[in-house]
């Protein structure tokens, strides 16, 4: 029941919001997302950290086509639901200073988005997963289209068509799997696993690519990333936060739940290709990040690099890689939302996000500088910050896979330090100029968003055990499925 409530509550909240007076829109949206957070906390409190799927709800939906409203939460879903529901209030809060026109629609779209995201993470029916997957695309498209920046029409259309192309191919793959399910056809996750694992190797490879394409575009993995920098750059800050903070985790989650265990043979065949693509992406995006002149674009490219590492770690198919991917998803989500907000604050006070025309902010805004330092260190994965735990595990797993590739993937830490520290130095340190000399330090509202982020970055870095504990059993289980399969097929 809790699972259904988690999905439906944001939708109900969004519907009520549409009927409210414009004055109450902001507080109500925040209230809804906080109640959702409370629901999540209740769920976490009842959650047993073992390999089982809990809070299962299973109703027939389109019975004649084997489609069920089948949802449930295991350790992997739990972490992502936590991420979604923790970040959404922060994202809503971060927009309180902006005055978007028609902000009722803006906030209801964010809540609608939250519904779809939670749905994606808890769905255990392939068709239902696809529906939520696509439903998440609609609100973010309209958020970017209506409140975005220059040239948003063309940029968002490219984004939409690009991602939809991937999803439709995935849909074809899912339908194919559906027809391979034994007995009465069904979209239930277990049936799809059984169907996929019994396919011959060549077919598994085809299905692998059909599904991988959708996930690779969403993450995005090189060379399917071309929509991403423009879209991140053009979107309003909250849109970018949703996109990179939560939505790209849909892609990684998709790989974990709907790719690795579905076609293990296909994964075996193509995992090294996926790793190489991801590692190319890491280096390529990091190099591009170094030469960016615009802060938003810089973070956009750094996001590609970070995701590339997560994907690489995941496809090594060893346990530490998967566990690292889980923790890094959380860490990246938190850190990147913080970074986007910092850029938003800089832009709103200086009307520029170009690195060259900033500088000397530290002189007038010490608190802001400190917050920036912590979040930036989280991003460059300094030990004792959240980024370190995940990246360490991930790089470790890639090293186990292959020393040379591991070494190349490790570059992400060095290159990351180069572009982050350099951009920090040029924006915050040095002489203040006309734009930055009257930089006002953080207000209450901004502190409310950034302080929790800072706390989480440090807390996860120092004591990641509780988070690791939630997903550990589920990840072990997944790993077990894969190794069992390999043992059988040899």
Partner 1 sequence: MNAVYILSGLGIFSLLAEIFSFRKILFPIVLLGLLATAGLLVMDWNTGTSHFSNMLTFDNYAIAFSAGIAVIAFLWFLMSRDYFENNTHVTDHFALVLFSLVGAVFMVSYSNLAMLFLGIEILSISLYIMAGSKMTDLFSNEASFKYFLMGSFATGFLLFGIALVYGVTGSFDLGKINQVITAGSTEFSALLYAGVLLMMVGLAFKISAVPFHFWAPDVYEGSPTVVTAFMSTIVKIAAFAGFFRLFATCFASVSGEWVNVVQVIAVLTLVVSNITAVYQNSVKRMLAFSSIAHAGYLLITLVALNEISASAILYYVLAYAAASLAAFAVLHNVAFENENASAESFNGLSKRNPFHAFAMTVALLSLAGIPPLAGFFAKYYIFTVAFESGYVGIVLLAVVTSLIGIYYYFRIIIAMYLKAPETTTPVAVTTMHNVMLVICLLSTIILGLFPDMIIKLI
- Using CB under 8 A, which of the segments 61-69, 89-97, 452-460, 472-480 binds partner 1? 61-69
Interaction of residue 209 with partner 1, rule CB under 8 A: no
Nearer to partner 1, 154 or 421 (CB): 154
Taking a C-beta distance cutoff of 8 angstroms, is the pair 383, 461 a contact? yes
Q: Contacts with partner 1: how many residues (CB under 8 A)?
A: 29
Interaction of residue 169 with partner 1, rule CB under 8 A: yes
Q: Considering the complex, what minimum distance in angstroms separates the CB of residue 138 from partner 1?
A: 6
Residue 23's CB is within 10 A of a number of other CB atoms, namely 8
Instruction: Identify the CA nearest to 252 among candidates 328, 336, 159.
Output: 328
Residue 182's CB is within 10 A of a number of other CB atoms, namely 10
Nearer to partner 1, 155 or 271 (CB): 155
> What is the rounded distance in angstroms from the CA atom of residue 423 to the CA atom of residue 359?
10
Q: Considering the complex, what minimum distance in angstroms separates the CB of residue 133 from partner 1?
A: 8
- Using CB under 8 A, which of the segments 62-70, 228-236, 321-329, 419-427 binds partner 1? 62-70
**3-class secondary-structure state, position 395:** helix
Interaction of residue 57 with partner 1, rule CB under 8 A: no
Q: x/- contact string, 125-164, with partner 1 (CB under 8 A)? A: -----xx--xx-xx---x--xx-----xx--xx--xx--x
Instruction: Identify the CA nearest to 232 among candidates 220, 250, 244, 215.
Output: 244
- Using CB under 8 A, which of the segments 88-96, 106-114, 171-179, 420-428 binds partner 1? 171-179
From the list 100, 176, 284, 399, which residue makes contact with partner 1 (rule: CB under 8 A)?
176
> What is the rounded distance in angstroms from the CA atom of residue 226 to the CA atom of residue 313?
22
Q: Considering the complex, what minimum distance in angstroms separates the CB of residue 424 from partner 1?
A: 35
Nearer to partner 1, 177 or 474 (CB): 177
Interaction of residue 440 with partner 1, rule CB under 8 A: no
Instruction: Identify the CA nearest to 242 among candidates 61, 355, 79, 117.
Output: 117
> What is the rounded distance in angstroms from the CA atom of residue 434 to the CA atom of residue 418?
27
From the list 14, 30, 73, 171, which residue makes contact with partner 1 (rule: CB under 8 A)?
171
Q: Considering the complex, what minimum distance in angstroms separates the CB of residue 20 from partner 1?
A: 16
Nearer to partner 1, 61 or 284 (CB): 61
From the list 179, 184, 351, 487, which residue makes contact with partner 1 (rule: CB under 8 A)?
179
36-53 burial code (b ≥16 CB/10 A, e <16): bbebbeebbeebebeeeb
From the list 12, 15, 38, 65, which residue makes contact with partner 1 (rule: CB under 8 A)?
65
Q: Considering the complex, what minimum distance in angstroms separates the CB of residue 361 from partner 1?
A: 34
For the chain, the distance separating the N- and C-terminal CA atoms, rounded to the nearest angstrom, is: 42
Bridge partners (DSSP) listed for residue 54: 73
Interaction of residue 233 with partner 1, rule CB under 8 A: no
> What is the rounded distance in angstroms from the CA atom of residue 336 to the CA atom of residue 328?
11
> What is the rounded distance in angstroms from the CA atom of residue 444 to the CA atom of residue 96?
11
Interaction of residue 19 with partner 1, rule CB under 8 A: no
Nearer to partner 1, 85 or 234 (CB): 234
Instruction: Identify the CA nearest to 73 among candidates 167, 7, 170.
Output: 7
CA angle 116, 120, 123 (to 5 degrees): 120
HEC-encoded secondary structure of 284-351: HHHHHHHHCCEHHHHHHHHHHHHHHHHHHHHHCCCHHHHHHHHHHHHHHHHHHHHHHHHHHHHHHHHC
- Using CB under 8 A, which of the segments 166-174, 319-327, 377-385, 418-426 binds partner 1? 166-174
From the list 22, 45, 63, 434, which residue makes contact with partner 1 (rule: CB under 8 A)?
63
From the list 50, 56, 61, 476, which residue makes contact with partner 1 (rule: CB under 8 A)?
61
Nearer to partner 1, 138 or 280 (CB): 138
Q: How many CA atoms lie within 13 A of 244 on its CB side?
A: 35
Nearer to partner 1, 164 or 448 (CB): 164
Taking a C-beta distance cutoff of 8 angstroms, is the pair 250, 167 a contact? no
From the list 165, 290, 417, 473, which residue makes contact with partner 1 (rule: CB under 8 A)?
165
Q: Considering the complex, what minimum distance in angstroms separates the CB of residue 108 from partner 1?
A: 12
Q: Considering the complex, what minimum distance in angstroms separates the CB of residue 161 from partner 1?
A: 5
Nearer to partner 1, 147 or 193 (CB): 147
Instruction: Identify the CA nearest to 314 among candidates 269, 265, 272.
Output: 272
Nearer to partner 1, 130 or 424 (CB): 130
208-231 burial code (b ≥16 CB/10 A, e <16): bbbbbbbbbbbbbbbebbebbbbb
> What is the rounded distance in angstroms from the CA atom of residue 34 to the CA atom of residue 48?
23
- Using CB under 8 A, which of the segments 46-54, 56-64, 266-274, 302-310 binds partner 1? 56-64
From the list 172, 291, 429, 455, which residue makes contact with partner 1 (rule: CB under 8 A)?
172
Q: Kindly list the residues in this chain that would bind partner 1 in the complex (CB under 8 A).
A: 61-65, 130-131, 134-135, 137-138, 142, 145-146, 152-153, 156-157, 160-161, 164-165, 168-169, 171-172, 175-176, 179
């Amino acid at each position: 029941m809790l699972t259904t409530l988690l999905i439906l509550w944001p939708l109900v909240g969004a519907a009520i919001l549409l009927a409210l007076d414009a004055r109450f829109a902001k507080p109500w949206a925040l209230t809804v997302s906080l109640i959702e957070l409370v629901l999540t906390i209740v769920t976490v409190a009842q959650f047993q950290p073992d390999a089982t799927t809990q809070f299962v709800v299973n109703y027939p939906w389109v019975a004649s086509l084997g489609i069920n409203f089948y949802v449930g939460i295991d350790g992997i879903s739990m972490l992502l639901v936590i991420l979604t529901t923790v970040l959404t209030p922060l994202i809503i809060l971060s927009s309180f200073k902006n005055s978007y026109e028609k902000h009722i629609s803006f906030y209801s779209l964010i809540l609608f988005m939250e519904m779809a995201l939670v749905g994606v993470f808890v769905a255990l029916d392939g068709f239902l997963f696809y529906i939520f997957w696509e439903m998440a695309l609609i609100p973010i498209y309209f958020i970017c289209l209506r409140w975005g920046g220059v040239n948003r029409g063309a940029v968002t259309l490219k984004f939409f068509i690009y991602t939809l192309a991937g999803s439709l191919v995935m849909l074809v793959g899912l339908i194919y799997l559906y027809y391979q399910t034994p007995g009465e056809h069904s979209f239930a996750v277990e049936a799809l696993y059984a169907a996929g694992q019994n396919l011959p190797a060549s077919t598994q490879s085809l299905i692998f690519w059909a599904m991988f394409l959708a996930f690779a575009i969403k993450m995005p993995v090189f060379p399917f990333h071309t929509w991403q920098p423009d879209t991140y750059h053009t979107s309003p800050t909250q849109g970018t936060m949703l996109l990179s903070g939560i939505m790209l985790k849909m892609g990684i989650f998709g790989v974990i739940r709907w790719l690795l265990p579905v076609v293990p043979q296909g994964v075996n065949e193509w995992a090294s290709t996926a790793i190489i693509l991801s590692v190319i992406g890491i280096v390529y995006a990091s190099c591009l990040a170094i030469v960016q002149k615009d802060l938003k674009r810089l973070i956009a490219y750094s996001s590609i690099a970070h995701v590339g590492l997560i994907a690489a770690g995941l496809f090594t198919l060893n346990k530490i890689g998967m566990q690292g991917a889980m923790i890094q998803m959380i860490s990246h989500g938190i850190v990147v939302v913080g970074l986007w907000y910092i850029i938003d604050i800089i832009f709103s006070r200086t009307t520029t996000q170009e690195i060259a025309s900033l500088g000397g902010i530290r002189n007038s805004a010490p608190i802001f500088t400190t917050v920036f330092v912590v979040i930036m260190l989280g991003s460059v994965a300094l030990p004792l910050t959240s980024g370190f735990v995940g990246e360490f595990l991930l790089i470790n797993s890639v090293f186990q896979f292959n020393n040379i590739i591991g070494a190349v993937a490790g570059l992400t830490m060095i290159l990351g330090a180069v572009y982050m520290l350099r951009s920090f130095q040029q924006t915050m340190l040095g002489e203040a100029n006309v734009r930055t000399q009257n930089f006002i330090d953080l207000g209450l509202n901004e502190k409310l968003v950034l302080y929790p982020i800072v706390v989480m970055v440090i807390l996860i870095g120092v004591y990641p055990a509780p988070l690791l504990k939630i997903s550990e059993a589920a990840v072990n289980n997944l790993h077990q499925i894969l190794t069992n399969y390999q043992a059988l097929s040899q």
